Homo-oligomer: A and B are copies of this chain.
């Protein structure tokens, strides 16, 4: 059994890690840290898990927790992992970081959108944990920068088509929608029930921090600069994310080409499901699971490919993909602990 610790276990992504790892066949959860709930039982904070997890939260102390665990997830607001991760790596631990701190290769880009980076030397060795695209690098990684939820939903459908040069890198638009849990557990006016219910709105229009993260990977996949117009929206639901993506297709590209490209690229990917022709992904169908469901429609009259990708923002968009990456790093079955059967309703 791999001894695993979760640093920042009481936020939504951390708690989702607890949920998944509590049922993982090859993992023993040995330490949960929390800043807010030191010495409190985890199941007092999340009563859903009473009778399932009986651990007590502890403060972050690298010496103590590194005695207990060999693999760590850091589920913290960005900036904190920059301080913690070097301490963990120095003790020969492997880490999947769910924040933005190790996702962006160019420190200047990171610093333009976040804050000064204090662990730049780790950026080169960090692997971007978009599993289906970087599986080979992940196998050998000691540090994963786990992707953001929006990037996961936008990059998985686009990467194969850009690689195959079936779509133009110009005029890419991603109109994305997220459930409220993506905003985390800390109360705010923006996540107050009455302010979200019966409401639909965009936010951070073309200014969201996931935009450069996506452009970095798109550019890498296309091997030339790919600008992405990106607008996130908030949907009155707890979990789920859908990105609707608009791309101009290369001349002569047919629906059959699109279909073949997507099916071929993901034929061995257990967490990606390509919808049948005419089918559309629905956030409800991936709720609680590590699936990314991808649908597509070619608007031939207007020469535009419409891609749609649905994920659970807390699973494939955060904790699930993090565990998928751990599985690969540890040599486990890629979906160990992730074979949750989704609710039919």
Query: Hey, which bits of chain A sit against chain B, CB under 8 A?
Result: 12, 15-16, 18-20, 22-23, 46-52, 171, 173, 175, 177, 179-181, 185, 187-189, 191-203, 205-207, 227-229, 231, 233, 235-240, 242, 244, 246, 248, 270, 273, 275, 279-289, 291, 293, 295, 297, 299, 301-302, 304, 306, 308, 310, 314, 339-345
Q: Are B194 and A191 in contact (CB under 8 A)?
A: yes
Evaluate whether A15 and B46 lie within 8 angstroms (CB atoms) in the complex, with A193-B238, A235-B200 already known: no
User: What are the residues of chain B within 8 A of A297 when measuring CB–CB?
Assistant: 205-207
Q: Are B188 and A187 in contact (CB under 8 A)?
A: yes
Evaluate whether A341 and B188 lie within 8 angstroms (CB atoms) in the complex, with A198-B237, A244-B231 already known: no
Evaluate whether A189 and B199 lie within 8 angstroms (CB atoms) in the complex, with A229-B246, A236-B235 already known: no
User: What are the residues of chain B within 8 A of A342 when measuring CB–CB?
Assistant: 19, 48-49, 52
A269 to chain B, nearest CB (A): 11
A251 to chain B, nearest CB (A): 16
Evaluate whether A284 and B192 lie within 8 angstroms (CB atoms) in the complex, with A227-B302, A244-B231 already known: no
Q: Are A229 and B197 in contact (CB under 8 A)?
A: no
Cβ-closest chain B residue relative to A20: B341
Evaluate whether A285 and B48 lie within 8 angstroms (CB atoms) in the complex, with A175-B244, A192-B187 already known: yes
**Set B193, B280, B301: member contacting A193, Cβ < 8 A:** B193
Q: Are A283 and B23 in contact (CB under 8 A)?
A: no
A8 to chain B, nearest CB (A): 13
Q: Are A341 and B52 in contact (CB under 8 A)?
A: yes
Cβ-closest chain B residue relative to A51: B273
Other than the given A19-B342, A181-B345, 14 more pairs (CB < 8 A) read A19-B341, A47-B275, A47-B279, A48-B285, A48-B342, A52-B342, A185-B192, A185-B194, A185-B345, A191-B193, A198-B287, A203-B280, A206-B299, A231-B244
User: What are the residues of chain B within 8 A of A198 when measuring CB–CB?
Assistant: 179, 197-198, 237-240, 283-284, 287
Q: Are A282 and B199 in contact (CB under 8 A)?
A: yes
Q: Are B227 and A195 in contact (CB under 8 A)?
A: no
A209 to chain B, nearest CB (A): 14
